[in-house]
Amino acid sequence: MTLLKLIIFFQLIYLNISKPYLRYSELKCGASPKTISKYYCFLRSYKRSLPAFNVGFTLKRKLTGTKADCRVERKIADRNYNTVMNLEKVDVCEVIKGVSTLPFLIEVRDFVVKLNTTYMEICDRSGDFHLTNASFNDMKILSYFPEGDYRTKYIFYDSKDDNIIKQLLHSS
């Protein structure tokens, strides 16, 4: 549950742009076979025009001490990006349990709770987790980044596996 919430958290970071909605343009994913099986992630058209994020996986073991690194970058020229936010060693379970006092993390957690997924249980069990047609166009949290083309890179890891999930998401 925590890992999935963290995934959603990083997607939200990427999606909080000063636009009425965010259009995903590309999603690249990878998962470690040491910890995850049956992994999938993809974009698909949802409500005719808004691409939605879909992810699912099976954890082979219960996660403990899971951390995440996230980097949000804004495109400034052809293939050049500037880092606008860099979060390192974010404790996924603490974010899910609501321990964080950072307003941004609190808003993201509250949004994830409303999705009614099994991701909130990711720190407590192994097994199947999924999120289908996650669309952030109705999100009411503040815009943290100016309008533009962005990419978000994130990686989830713990002491037993340094690459549980790695994703790259482009949007405009």
Range of the domain at 148: 2-171
Domain with residue 13: its CATH number is 2.70.220
Task: State the chain's maximal CA–CA distance in angstroms.
Answer: 44
Q: What is the pLDDT of residue 142?
A: 38
pLDDT tens digits, residue range 117-129? Answer: 777 788 888 888 8
pTM attached to this predicted model: 0.74
- Our count of domains for the chain comes to 1
Question: Given a cut of 70, is residue 56 above it in pLDDT?
Answer: yes
Q: What is the pLDDT of residue 19?
A: 47
The tokens for 100 are 């964080």
